[in-house]
Amino acid sequence: MYRVWNEYKKNHENIKGAENGWAAAVEYYVKKEAGQPITQVQISKKYDISSSTLGKRYKDLKIS
């Protein structure tokens, strides 16, 4: 997980948004890449964020 976040941070100077939103996105990204069955709703509940926030952050990570 650290590799994904560190790579993103290296390429982006001004990262906006709450830490829990980014943590959720990193966890979701890593689990999806590993082929684990996980939903945005499950991760969103774990981090107490909206599914739309998770979707936005996940999209940002994937594009990078």
Q: What is the CATH number of the domain that holds 28?
A: 1.10.472.10
Q: Which domain covers residue 27, as residue numbers?
A: 2-63
- 3-state secondary structure (DSSP) of residue 10: helix
Q: What is the pLDDT of residues 33-56, one digit of tens each?
A: 999 999 999 999 999 999 999 999
The domain tally of the chain equals 1
- The answer to whether the CB of 43 falls within 8 A of the CB of 50 is no
Give the residue-averaged pLDDT of 1-19: 88
Average pLDDT for the chain: 93
pTM of the model: 0.89
Residues with Cβ within 8 Å of residue 19, at least 6 apart in sequence: none
Confidence of residue 63 (pLDDT cuts 50, 70, 90): confident
Confidence of residue 26 (pLDDT cuts 50, 70, 90): very high
Indicate whether 2 pLDDT > 80. Answer: no
